[in-house]
Homo-oligomer: A and B are copies of this chain.
Amino acid sequence: MANIQDIAKRAGVSVSTVSRVLNQHPYVSERKQAAVHQAISELDYTPNRSAIDLIRKETRSIGVIIPYNNNQAFDQLLHGVLNRSVERDYTVTVLPTKYDSNKELHCLTMLKNKQLDALILTSRSNNWNAIIPYAKYGTIVACEFTDHPEIGCAYIDRYGSFVETFQLLKDKGHTRVAFTTARGEESNSTQLIIRAYQQLFGDLPAEYPIRDCYSMDDGIRAAQQLLHGDEKPTAIYANGDEVAAGIYRYAKRIGLRVPEDLAIIGQENQPVGIGLGLSTVDHQLVKVGEHAFDLAIGKSKDKVEIPYQIILRQSD
C-alpha cells in the first residue's frame, strides 16, 4: 500500500502538505491541493488508521461489555448504542465476557492500551473498586446507577420498578407472588428485587426466587418448580418476556387460566410477549443504550435516569 510519502513524492509536495489536505487544514494552495488529490486517486491511497490512532491517542471507537451474547435485554442495549454510533460516526466493538471477571478486566485494559476511547458496561462482574482505576485511561459508563463520581451512567430506577410492579400485584389481591432472576445475589438487580419483595410482602420464602432464568425453557423449568410446590404462587414476575412465555406455556399446559389462576408479568416488551398478550414492564433498554453512548462520547460523568413503563395486557 502506498503511504503518505509516496503521495508527497508523486504530488511533488512535502508530507506535511499531504497531511494538511488529508485533514482539511486551511492554507494549502489550490494547485497543490489538486496535485495531492490526484496523486491520492492515482495511487489509490488510504491513510493507515493505526498510525493515526497512535499519534492522536484516540480511536473513535468504543466498546460495549455484554455478559451474554444471546440475551434479548443486552441486545436491546446494544441496539441503542449502535443507533447512535451510526449517527456520530463512531465504531463499536462488542465484548462478550460471560460474566468472567478476568475477561471483564481484560476489556478494561483496552482503555489503557489505547485500543478504545470509552467503554460501556451493560453489566459487570467486578466490584467498582476494581473498575474505577481504569477510568483514568478512558471514559467508563454504566447502565446501572452508581454514585461514583468518575462513572457516568444511564440507568433505570430498578428498585422503583420492582416495587411498583409488586404493588400492582398486591393491589389485585395477590399475596403469594414468586419471581425469577438471571443471576443470584451477586447481581445488583437480584438484590434490588429481593428488597422490593420484602418491602411489600415481608419475608421471602426460599422457594420463590428462581434463578438462572434466561430463556423460554428456563421459564418452563421455573413454572414446573413453582406450580407444584407447597407455597404455590398466584402470580409470577418474570425477569424477561421469554421467561414469562415459558411460564405461560407451562401454565396453559397444566390447565391453568391466566390471569385467573396465575398472573404473569414479564419484562422488556419483547415480541414473544406481545404475541402472547403478556403484560410487561418495559425498561426501555434501547434508550438506555442510546444515552449510554452519548455519555461515552461526551466523556460525561452525568447520571441520567431513563423512565420505565408498565404495559398491561391480559396476563396480570
Contacts and interface: CB of A to CB of B under 8 A. Distances in A.
Contacts of A49: 110, 113-115
Tallying the copies of this chain within the complex gives: 2
A275 B59 CA distance: 43
A130 to B, nearest CB: 14
Interface stretch (A32-40, A94-102, A166-174, A298-306): A94-102
Contacts of A98: 86
Given A54-B50, A79-B69, A242 B216 contact: no
Interface residues of A, number: 46
A48 interface: yes
Contacts of A61: 93
Interface of A: 1, 46-51, 53-54, 59, 61, 69-70, 75, 78-79, 82-83, 85-86, 91-96, 98, 103, 109-110, 112-115, 137, 216, 242, 245, 248-249, 270-272, 274-276
A276 B272 CA distance: 8
B46 A113 contact: yes
Contacts of A276: 275-276
A226 B245 CA distance: 29
Given A69-B83, A96-B86, A245 B275 contact: yes
Given A54-B54, A92-B94, 5 more contacts: A48-B114, A50-B53, A50-B54, A69-B79, A93-B94
